[in-house]
Amino acid sequence: MAVKILVIGAGSIGRRHAENMTRLGCTVDLVGWRGTNLSDLAARIAQNDAVVIATATQIRHVLIALAATAQKPFYVEKPLCFTTQDLAAIKTAAAPVADRSMLGLMMRYHPAFRALADTDLSDTFRFDLTIGHDVTQWRQNWTFSSSYAAKPMGGGVLLDLCHELDMAVTLFPDLTLVAADSVGHAAYPNVDMATRVTLTSPGISGSVSMDYLAPRLIREAQIFGHTQTHRFDFASQTYTRTTMADIATLPYPLERNAMFMDAARDFLALVQGHSPSDNPNIPRLDRSYDSATLVAQAWEARTFNGTTLKEIA
């Protein structure tokens, strides 16, 4: 019998999840969040085997609670939340199904990042992870001002592009937040357009930088060690490892939706009580709270240092 999945959130990411679950043989019920009655949602959750939550960040807590109360595992999009107080409440609410649920940290399925995560990085003394892209160029018929991203509670670049923070935690689990320095915009108070998060752990200093401003997509990871240096350009799919002996170019071809499909397969395995894939960094919810904690701590620690002059409608 087909697994029955309720997808809450009919935006682009919700539709992608619905299409992928259908491709995997599930029976999918796709419902938009706006205008939906909570009691009606609770009834629909009860009629399904699992839930995908692809809504705006600030309303995910109540949906997680509904799913967990009904003993239904869920896949929730990132970020899980944006305050440490909300994170504590979500951990309590999600506890009955946290070991069968997942957080949408899809970069853990990127073949190049998986290879980097499998590498011995114990000699690292510095790292820099960067992602940037002009937000006005993201999609056709889409405007920043009318989107979730423009909201002071739940929007902004740190939350929107937080995969790099998760990547940092995955590579270096003992990281501590030092600072989060942000650039804002006069038209969008308390919404960060660029943020640089400074992190540290014993013997390592690092940064994660995110922005809505770069004219062309930038997505890079640079890991500096005394025996090897990794320069991974995820945008151009160019990956190099430098040692005293040579500079090696590493091949990790990517079809983007494959990451979503791999995550969906692992989620369905958890839902059905089966063993998931051999990916050691599967973002099972109960094993992803360190990442969610860092995101919330960084968001709460943001210090705004001026505003950008870029016109963003």
- Does 245 share its domain with 166? yes
Which pLDDT band, with edges at 50, 70 and 90, does 31 fall under?
A: very high
CATH of residue 59's domain is 3.40.50.720
Q: Per the structure, how many domains does the chain have?
A: 2
Report if residue 313 sits inside a domain: no
- Does 79 share its domain with 38? yes
- Does 114 share its domain with 239? yes
End-to-end CA distance of the chain: 47
- Does 117 share its domain with 239? yes
- Does 95 share its domain with 111? no
Report if residue 230 sits inside a domain: yes
Give CA–CA dist 229/135, Å, rounded. Answer: 31
Per-residue model confidence (pLDDT) at position 245: 97
pLDDT digits (tens, 9 = 90+) for 205-241: 999 999 999 999 999 999 999 999 999 999 999 999 9
Report if residue 312 sits inside a domain: no
pLDDT digits (tens, 9 = 90+) for 97-142: 999 999 999 999 999 999 999 999 999 999 999 999 999 998 778 8
Cis ω on the peptide bond leading into residue 79 (within 30° of 0)? yes
Report if residue 192 sits inside a domain: yes
Report if residue 289 sits inside a domain: no
Please give the residue range of the domain that contains residue 9: 4-106+259-284
Q: Is the pLDDT of residue 197 over 90?
A: yes
- Does 92 share its domain with 153? no
Per-residue model confidence (pLDDT) at position 36: 81
- Does 243 share its domain with 271? no
Report if residue 94 sits inside a domain: yes
pLDDT digits (tens, 9 = 90+) for 44-84: 999 999 999 999 998 999 999 999 999 999 999 999 999 99
- Does 228 share its domain with 98? no
Beta-bridge partner residues of 310: none
Average confidence (pLDDT) over 180-208? 98
What is the number of helices (H) and of strands (E) in the chain?
9, 14
Q: Would you give the distance in Å from CA 250 to the centre of its chain? A: 25
CATH of residue 222's domain is 3.30.360.10
pLDDT digits (tens, 9 = 90+) for 253-263: 998 899 999 99
Give strand ranges (E) for the chain.
Answer: 4-8, 27-31, 50-53, 74-77, 102-104, 124-132, 176-184, 194-201, 204-211, 218-225, 229-233, 238-242, 247-249, 302-307
